[in-house]
């Protein structure tokens, strides 16, 4: 029992990331009808927003500390971050420590701007082109984005720690009446799951309760009719693209402490997120979220030793296997609407 | 016994009874028109004949064999060709290539891997394709890219593609829908010519009375998913039930 | 001639001449000159030109004709390489059985993957093939390690049985791949004045196989089968109602194209008997797509051009480092020189992939028909300027 709960918890953080990326992919596909192969790159750019902010905050200048000496006996030179000069030592240190959560604020404008530029500058011209062309051009864009990041930040993963408060783990087992240490769960993963839940909730609320969201939903259902009503749907779709980019970016920012960002993380997640979208149902937002968590948890179950003993290698392929079975038996996906892209 | 026998066919979509108790018999070498107001079930009936839909009840026999449960390409191989409401042709191919494909289908069946010899070596089929194009006055357009042709030419090409297969039954789904008067008349002339020059059985689903009365030997009137009456054009014109159900709208 | 039309025969002849004289054509600069770095006439690089040419020719049969965009073709490349290396380990170092096995195994793979993936079309097909390729890649790294040797990659060793050959050569070394004794790695250097040309056995074996593949692809393009494939891309609905089943046709195209990829993978192993899982990664699949699009999908010569173009620039661009750029612009004043080098720097050397990505986007945006379409546009413009109103015949597949 405790092992099962542990696996479910383990699946949640990856599942959250899948769900957030798949949500954005679905928004873009549902509104603009575009298959965006560059969406994983947006996730990656988000993660590097966290890296960037943490580097910016750590920018320092050298100060000679007369009270201490280095190993040669000379006065020690210490690096003092500018943030500490401005905010004082304790506040400064706290700000640096909290770089990743702060990067949320930093990344939102960056990601929205990136999304809007992408849509206006490139994607817009591909609405009427075949899906294959859309796949190809966004694939090219993904290569470009990841190469730029690689040139700026290098090819190695960059560890980006979470704030100190979240470094420990929560002993879930004790809470639920199991033995201590049976279910250990790092705090940050808990934070990530909560964060993902909030973002998902916010997106759904936004679509459900605002006029803007209503128009977008109507546009997803029937673009032409909404266009006939004299509503400028294009402008809203541009904003929608920016929003989807921001969601992917935020997913990336908060993922940085879980997995040190590297330039190809976007591609790794993209392939899986596409599978998630397909399983959930192309164009279905709840489907994307459901499938994201479902596949995340399934993947974590498949990596249990007991299961790997019976089916070696299953953890490596479980997601693809599920996708293949779903596509062949229920092409519209778990929650997809009938007739949407079924062939 | 007709070449096409439709017996007691019924089809339901959720709460809507689209077809019920449809009985229809198309005699060989006649033009049989199926008319009816919008929503009468004409298209549903046609889709049941070509294998796109499977009726819930009843049987559809072509030349003594059931077509039900067969795939569209199998039904075509039995000898039924279909003309669509908007011309369906291979837009990326030339007119001549469009003609070759149905010929290959007729000669080689649903699948045959002819991957080595050249299409240009198939002189027999080329001759037949050219003869057919000549018949529909399109021989001079044989090297044209078919997507760039006018709608009327596309319609002609589609008919030629069906006829070159020498089908035993040609199904036409509103062949003049959305056409200008001149194009409609051209199509009528073409169909009349086809009817006069070769033995062929046609089933036409049509909205335009002008087309129906200039071509049909027999007419079935469909209303609310069930045949109202079946008779010759002359009798149909004067039939009170038909006037009420259908022609009344146009009066 | 050879069952080809006049224009096709000319095209084939052109490719054949280019392939035969490649060691000259690709080495236009004297060995000691500053421009020698732009030479591409090394056996190793020329082999890659033709092998990736085979891969792209095969991919084009599927994508160019039917429009089904496979994102998993690298899986067949990898399978081909593994099969060939196993043949070297078990049977002999002769390349013929290795190539045959790589084609058979990848063909069987393609039957399975194609049968499942072709149940769907459009982007679903792309995602299904991608999923299969990623699955193969992941498996090659994990449970299939006994067959693939995991991260290290599969290599030939002195302990291999090699039933029809020898486990080790007389002097105790690992035997090399050969064609009935003719070693793949053997080459002859011919010096003509300041020029040096290298003629390698491996290259010519690969080139002959490429020409055969190219010839076969022309035949397929002009055959009833090729026409059916184009009809599938154009209008599947019409095809169904014309009495033809699209599925076996697309599956046949998928399998043929998978076997081409397997052949390419086998040849890679023949030139260098080593197979690793990274050959199956989806970035590798993306590269094939890129070559085909860049050259011109659906055209005969396009994929060959695209493969050559990308492999050439990959090699040349990645060799250009900052010193080379400095030497080019050394005539500029210092400050400006550094500035120019700074601008060029991200796009060359290790930055080659950035250039590649940008080029890819540019092609899809501005020239969806690839280099072939670009060439046709230029030719048309020139013809117009000449004032001669020669009619441009638009054969869809050239």
- CB < 8 Å from C in window 29-68 of B: 50
Query: Domain tally for chain B?
Result: 2
Asked, for residue B90, whether it belongs to a domain, the answer is no
3-state DSSP assignment of residue C189: strand
Q: Which one of A150, A313, A314 would you mutate to disrupt binding with C, by most C Cβ within 10 Å of its Cβ? A: A313
Show the tokens assigned to B238: 């004067």
| Contact yes or no for C231 and B93 at CB 8 A | yes
| Contact yes or no for C282 and A131 at CB 8 A | no
Q: Are A163 and A100 in contact (CB under 8 A)?
A: yes
For C71, phi then psi, to 5°, come to -105, 20
Write out pLDDT tens, residues B90-117.
999 999 999 999 999 999 999 999 888 8
Residues 6+ apart with CB under 8 A from B71: B51, C240, C245
Segment A194-222 mean pLDDT:
86
pLDDT at A157 over 50: yes
- Which of A135, A267, A313 has its CB closest to that of C123? A135
Asked, for residue C158, whether it belongs to a domain, the answer is yes
Report yes or no: C168 at the A interface, CB cutoff 8 Å. Answer: no
Question: How far is C199 from chain B, CA to nearest CA, in Å?
Answer: 33
Q: Which chain B positions have a beta carbon within 8 Å of C368's beta carbon?
A: none
Please report, for residues A119, A233, B169, the alpha-carbon distance to residue A237 in angstroms, rounded to integers and kept in the order given. 9, 6, 49
- Which of C346, C364, C368 has its CB closest to that of A151? C346
Residues 6+ apart with CB under 8 A from C260: C54, C55, C57, C58, C59, C61, C213
Query: Domain tally for chain C?
Result: 1
| Contact yes or no for A140 and C144 at CB 8 A | no
The whole domain housing B108 covers 95-164
Please give the sequence-ordered ranges of beta strands (E in DSSP) within chain B, or none if there are none: 4-13, 16-26, 31-35, 57-62, 65-66, 80-83, 169-173, 201-205, 218-223, 226-231
Residues 6+ apart with CB under 8 A from C170: none
Q: Which chain A positions have a beta carbon within 8 Å of C361's beta carbon?
A: 122, 137, 140-141, 144
Asked, for residue B242, whether it belongs to a domain, the answer is yes
Q: Are A333 and A284 in contact (CB under 8 A)?
A: yes
For C69, phi then psi, to 5°, come to -90, 105
- Tell which of B164, B185, B219 closes a domain: B164
Same domain for B172 and B232:
yes
For CA atoms C216, C221, C222, C226, the dihedral sign is: positive
Q: Could you identify the residue written with the tokens 């908007």?
A: B86
DSSP B221: E
What is the distance, to the nearest Å, from the Cα of residue A109 to the centroid of all Cα atoms in its chain?
16
- Which of B97, B102, B120 has its CB closest to that of C242? B102
Return the partners of chain A (3 or more C-beta pairs < 8 Å): C
Asked, for residue B89, whether it belongs to a domain, the answer is no
Burial profile C141-155: b = 16 or more Cβ within 10 angstroms, e = fewer:
bbbbbeebbbeebbb
The per-residue pLDDT for C390 is 46
pLDDT at A81 over 90: no
Write out pLDDT tens, residues B151-204.
888 989 999 999 999 999 999 998 888 778 888 888 888 888 888 888 889 999
The H or E element spanning position B155 is helix B151-163
Residues in a beta bridge with A201: none
Write out pLDDT tens, residues A288-320.
999 999 999 998 888 888 888 888 778 888 888
Same domain for B154 and B49:
no
Q: Are C279 and C265 in contact (CB under 8 A)?
A: yes
Write out pLDDT tens, residues C114-141.
998 998 888 888 888 988 888 899 889 8
Write out pLDDT tens, residues C193-223.
888 888 999 999 999 999 999 999 999 999 9
| Contact yes or no for C361 and A137 at CB 8 A | yes
Q: Which chain A positions have a beta carbon within 8 Å of C71's beta carbon?
A: 135
Same domain for B180 and B75:
yes
Report yes or no: B166 at the C interface, CB cutoff 8 Å. Answer: no
Res. B122 pLDDT band, cuts 50 70 90: very high
Question: How far is C112 from chain B, CA to nearest CA, in Å?
Answer: 19
DSSP string, A11-78: HHHHHHHHHHHHHHHHHHHHHH----TTHHHHHHHHHHHHHHHHHHHH-EEEEEEEEEE-TTSSEEEE
Segment B23-41 mean pLDDT:
89
pLDDT at C373 over 80: yes
- Tell which of B164, B179, B203 closes a domain: B164
Burial profile B164-178: b = 16 or more Cβ within 10 angstroms, e = fewer:
bbbbbbbbbbbbbee
Report yes or no: B13 at the C interface, CB cutoff 8 Å. Answer: no
| Contact yes or no for C233 and B92 at CB 8 A | yes
Q: Which chain B positions have a beta carbon within 8 Å of C240's beta carbon?
A: 71-73, 76
The per-residue pLDDT for A303 is 84
**Which of B165, B170, B92 is closest to C228 using CA atoms?**
B92
d(CA C125, CA A279): 14
Report yes or no: C343 at the A interface, CB cutoff 8 Å. Answer: no
DSSP C94: B
Segment B7-27 mean pLDDT:
90
Return the partners of chain C (3 or more C-beta pairs < 8 Å): A, B
The whole domain housing C135 covers 6-298
Show the tokens assigned to B72: 């569209």
pLDDT at C322 over 50: yes
The per-residue pLDDT for A223 is 67
Please report, for residues B92, B149, B153, B232, C395, the alpha-carbon distance to residue B145 in angstroms, rounded to integers and kept in the order given. 7, 7, 12, 42, 9
**Which of C358, C117, C72 is closest to A271 using CA atoms?**
C72
Q: Which residues of A touch C (CB under 8 A)?
A: 35, 122, 125, 129, 131-133, 135-137, 139-144, 147-148, 150-151, 267, 271, 274-275, 278, 312-313, 316-317, 320-321, 323-324, 327-328, 331, 341, 343
- Which of C119, C123, C289 has its CB closest to that of A35? C123
| Contact yes or no for A139 and C360 at CB 8 A | yes
Length of chain B in terms of residues written: 251
Question: How far is C143 from chain A, CA to nearest CA, in Å?
Answer: 5
Residues 6+ apart with CB under 8 A from C364: A133, A136, A137, A140, C293
The per-residue pLDDT for A315 is 82
Asked, for residue B115, whether it belongs to a domain, the answer is yes
Write out pLDDT tens, residues B217-240.
999 988 888 888 888 888 888 787
Report yes or no: C247 at the A interface, CB cutoff 8 Å. Answer: no
**Which of C188, C213, C186 is closest to C202 using CA atoms?**
C186
3-state DSSP assignment of residue B15: coil
Task: Give the architecture-level CATH label for domain A2-56+106-329.
Answer: Orthogonal Bundle (1.10)
DSSP B246: I
The per-residue pLDDT for A117 is 94
Asked, for residue C342, whether it belongs to a domain, the answer is no
What is the distance, to the nearest Å, from the Cα of residue C123 to the centroid of all Cα atoms in its chain?
24
The per-residue pLDDT for A338 is 64
| Contact yes or no for C224 and B89 at CB 8 A | no
Write out pLDDT tens, residues A230-259.
677 778 878 889 999 999 999 999 999 988
Q: Which chain B positions have a beta carbon within 8 Å of C393's beta carbon?
A: 143
The H or E element spanning position B194 is helix B181-197
pLDDT at C396 over 60: no
Same domain for B154 and B103:
yes
Q: Give long-range contacts, CB 8 A cutoff, 24+ apart: A82-88.
A: A83/A57
Res. A168 pLDDT band, cuts 50 70 90: confident
Q: Which one of B101, B120, B170 would you mutate to disrupt binding with C, by most C Cβ within 10 Å of its Cβ? A: B101
| Contact yes or no for C227 and B92 at CB 8 A | no
Q: What angle do CA C375, C377, C380 make, to 5 degrees?
A: 110
- The enclosing domain of B17 has a CATH number of 3.40.50.300
ipTM of the complex: 0.91
Q: Which one of C75, C129, C141, C143 would you mutate to disrupt binding with A, by most A Cβ within 10 Å of its Cβ? A: C143
- Tell which of B110, B131, B164 closes a domain: B164
Chain B with chain C: Cβ pairs closer than 8 A: 116
pLDDT at C397 over 60: no
For A171, phi then psi, to 5°, come to -90, 95
Question: How far is C8 from chain A, CA to nearest CA, in Å?
Answer: 28
For residue C349, the chain A residue with the least C-alpha distance is A151
Question: How far is C176 from chain B, CA to nearest CA, in Å?
Answer: 36
DSSP A127: S
Length of chain A in terms of residues written: 343
d(CA C353, CA A141): 11
| Contact yes or no for B115 and C234 at CB 8 A | no
Q: What is the 3-state secondary structure (H, E, C) of A218-257?
A: HHHHCHHHHHHCCCCHHHHHHHHHHHHHHHHHHHHHHHCC
Q: Which chain A positions have a beta carbon within 8 Å of C135's beta carbon?
A: 316-317, 320-321
DSSP C332: S
3-state DSSP assignment of residue A333: coil
d(CA A261, CA A252): 9
Q: Which chain A positions have a beta carbon within 8 Å of C67's beta carbon?
A: 132
| Contact yes or no for C234 and B94 at CB 8 A | no
Question: How far is C199 from chain A, CA to nearest CA, in Å?
Answer: 36
Report yes or no: B100 at the C interface, CB cutoff 8 Å. Answer: yes
> pTM here?
0.89
Res. C307 pLDDT band, cuts 50 70 90: very high
For residue C242, the chain B residue with the least C-alpha distance is B102
d(CA B78, CA B92): 27
3-state DSSP assignment of residue C182: strand
**Which of C228, C237, C245, C241 is closest to B110 using CA atoms?**
C245
Write out pLDDT tens, residues C155-170.
988 888 888 888 888 8
3+ Cβ–Cβ pairs closer than 8 Å linking C and B: yes
- The enclosing domain of C164 has a CATH number of 1.10.3470
Return the partners of chain B (3 or more C-beta pairs < 8 Å): C
DSSP B145: B
Asked, for residue B85, whether it belongs to a domain, the answer is no
The per-residue pLDDT for C387 is 60
Residues 6+ apart with CB under 8 A from A270: A21, A37, A39, A40, A41, A43, A142
**Which of C286, C75, C296 is closest to A141 using CA atoms?**
C286
- Which of C233, C240, C252 has its CB closest to that of B73? C240
Q: Which one of A34, A138, A279, A317 would you mutate to disrupt binding with C, by most C Cβ within 10 Å of its Cβ? A: A317
Asked, for residue B181, whether it belongs to a domain, the answer is yes
A178/A301: higher pLDDT: A301
Asked, for residue C78, whether it belongs to a domain, the answer is yes
Asked, for residue B88, whether it belongs to a domain, the answer is no
Write down the H helix ranges in chain C: 6-20, 22-25, 43-66, 74-90, 95-117, 122-141, 145-148, 201-222, 224-234, 236-240, 246-271, 282-295, 302-319, 322-328, 334-344, 352-366, 370-386
Q: Which one of C68, C127, C150 would you mutate to disrupt binding with A, by most A Cβ within 10 Å of its Cβ? A: C127
Segment C47-58 mean pLDDT:
95
The per-residue pLDDT for A205 is 92
pLDDT at C23 over 80: yes
Show the tokens assigned to B219: 């007419």
pLDDT at C394 over 50: no
Show the tokens assigned to C33: 């000159």
Tell which phi-psi region holds residue B225, choosing left (phi > 0), alpha (psi between -120 and 50) or beta.
left
Write out pLDDT tens, residues A84-102.
888 888 888 888 888 888 8
Q: What is the 3-state secondary structure (H, E, C) of B169-191?
A: EEEEECCCCCCCHHHHHHHHHHH
For CA atoms A270, A276, A282, A288, the dihedral sign is: negative
């Amino acid at each position: 029992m405790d092992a099962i709960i542990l696996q479910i918890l383990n699946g949640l953080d990856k599942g959250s990331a899948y769900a957030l990326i798949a949500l954005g992919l679905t928004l873009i596909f549902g509104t603009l009808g575009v298959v965006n192969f560059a969406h994983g790159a947006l996730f990656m750019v988000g993660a590097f927003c966290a890296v960037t902010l943490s580097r910016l905050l750590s920018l320092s200048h050298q100060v000679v500390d007369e009270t201490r000496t280095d190993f040669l006996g000379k006065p020690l030179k210490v690096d003092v971050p500018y943030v500490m000069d401005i905010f004082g030592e304790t506040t400064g240190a706290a700000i640096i420590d909290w770089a990743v959560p702060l990067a949320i604020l930093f990344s939102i404008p960056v990601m929205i701007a990136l999304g809007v530029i992408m849509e206006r500058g490139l994607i817009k011209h591909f609405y009427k082109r075949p899906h294959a062309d859309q796949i190809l051009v966004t694939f090219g864009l993904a290569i470009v984005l990841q190469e730029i990041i690689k040139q700026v930040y290098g090819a190695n993963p960059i560890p980006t720690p979470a704030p100190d408060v979240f470094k420990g783990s929560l002993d879930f087992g004790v809470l639920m009446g199991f033995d201590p240490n049976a279910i250990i769960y790092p705090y940050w993963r808990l934070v990530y799951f909560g964060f993902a839940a909030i973002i998902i909730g916010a997106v759904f609320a936004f679509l459900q309760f605002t006029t803007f969201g209503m128009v977008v939903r109507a546009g997803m259902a029937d673009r032409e009719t909404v266009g006939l009503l004299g509503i400028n749907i294009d402008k809203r779709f541009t904003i929608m693209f920016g929003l989807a980019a921001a969601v992917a970016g935020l997913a990336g920012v908060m993922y940085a402490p879980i997995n040190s960002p590297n330039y190809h993380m976007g591609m790794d997640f993209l392939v899986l997120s596409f599978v998630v979208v397909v399983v959930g149902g192309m164009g279905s937002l709840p489907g994307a979220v459901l499938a994201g968590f479902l596949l995340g948890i399934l993947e974590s179950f498949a990596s249990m030793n007991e299961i790997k003993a019976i089916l070696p290698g299953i953890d490596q392929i479980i997601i693809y296997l599920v996708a293949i079975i779903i596509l062949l038996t229920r092409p519209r996906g778990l929650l997809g609407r009938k007739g949407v892209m079924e062939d | 016994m007709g070449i096409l026998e439709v017996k007691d066919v019924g089809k339901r979509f959720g709460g809507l009874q689209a077809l019920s108790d449809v009985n229809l018999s198309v005699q060989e070498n006649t033009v049989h028109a199926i008319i009816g107001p919008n929503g009468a079930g004409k298209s549903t009936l046609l889709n049941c004949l070509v294998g796109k839909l499977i009726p819930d009840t009843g049987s559809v026999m072509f030349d003594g064999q059931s077509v039900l449960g067969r795939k569209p390409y199998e039904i075509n191989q039995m000898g039924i060709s279909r003309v669509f409401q908007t011309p369906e042709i291979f837009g990326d191919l030339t007119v001549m290539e469009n003609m070759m494909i149905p010929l290959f289908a007729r000669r080689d069946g649903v699948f045959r891997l002819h991957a080595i010899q050249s299409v240009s070596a198939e002189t027999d089929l080329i001759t037949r394709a050219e003869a057919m194009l000549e018949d529909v006055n399109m021989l001079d357009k044989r090297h044209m890219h078919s997507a760039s042709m006018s709608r009327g030419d596309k319609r002609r090409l589609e008919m030629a593609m069906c006829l070159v297969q020498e089908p035993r039954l040609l199904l036409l789904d509103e062949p003049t829908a959305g056409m200008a008067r001149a194009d409609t008349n051209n199509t009528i002339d073409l169909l009349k010519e086809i009817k006069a020059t070769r033995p062929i059985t046609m089933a036409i689903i049509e909205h335009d009375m002008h087309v129906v009365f200039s071509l049909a030997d027999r007419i079935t009137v469909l209303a609310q998913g069930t045949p109202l009456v079946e008779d010759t054009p002359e009798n149909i014109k004067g039939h009170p039930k038909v006037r009420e159900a259908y022609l009344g709208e146009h009066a | 001639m050879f069952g080809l039309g006049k224009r096709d025969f000319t095209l084939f002849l052109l490719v054949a001449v280019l392939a035969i004289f490649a060691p000259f054509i690709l080495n236009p600069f004297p060995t000691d000159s500053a421009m020698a770095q732009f030479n591409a006439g090394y056996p190793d690089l020329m082999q890659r030109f033709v092998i990736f040419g085979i891969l792209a020719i095969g991919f084009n049969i599927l994508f160019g004709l039917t429009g089904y965009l496979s994102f998993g073709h690298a899986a067949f490349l990898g399978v081909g390489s593994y099969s060939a290396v196993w043949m070297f380990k078990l049977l002999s170092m002769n390349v013929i059985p290795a190539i045959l096995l790589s084609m058979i195994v990848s063909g069987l793979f393609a039957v399975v993957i194609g049968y499942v993936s072709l149940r769907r079309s459009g982007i679903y097909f792309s995602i299904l093939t991608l999923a299969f390729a990623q699955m193969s890649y992941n498996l090659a790294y994990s449970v299939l390690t006994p067959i693939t040797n995991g991260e290290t990659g599969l290599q030939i060793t002195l302990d291999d049985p090699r039933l029809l050959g020898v486990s080790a050569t007389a002097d105790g070394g690992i035997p090399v791949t050969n064609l009935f004794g003719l070693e793949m790695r053997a080459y002859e250097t011919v010096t003509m004045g300041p020029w040096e040309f290298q003629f390698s056995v491996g290259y010519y074996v690969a080139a002959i196989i490429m020409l055969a593949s190219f010839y076969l692809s022309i035949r397929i393009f002009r055959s009833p089968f090729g026409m059916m494939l184009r009809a599938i891309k154009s209008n599947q609905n019409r095809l169904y109602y014309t009495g033809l089943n699209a599925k076996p046709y697309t599956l046949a195209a998928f399998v043929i194209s998978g076997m081409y990829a397997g052949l390419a993978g086998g040849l890679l192993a023949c030139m260098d008997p080593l197979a690793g899982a990274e050959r199956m990664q989806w970035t590798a699949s993306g590269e094939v797509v890129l070559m085909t699009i860049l050259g011109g999908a659906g055209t005969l010569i396009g994929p060959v051009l695209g493969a050559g173009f990308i492999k050439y620039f990959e090699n040349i661009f990645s060799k250009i480092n900052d010193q080379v750029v400095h030497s080019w612009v050394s005539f500029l004043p210092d400050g400006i020189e550094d500035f120019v080098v700074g601008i060029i720097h991200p796009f060359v050397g290790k930055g080659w992939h950035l250039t590649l990505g940008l080029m890819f986007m540019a092609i899809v945006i501005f020239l969806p028909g690839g280099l072939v379409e670009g060439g046709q546009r230029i030719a048309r413009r020139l013809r117009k300027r000449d004032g001669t109103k020669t009619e441009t015949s638009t054969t869809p597949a050239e």
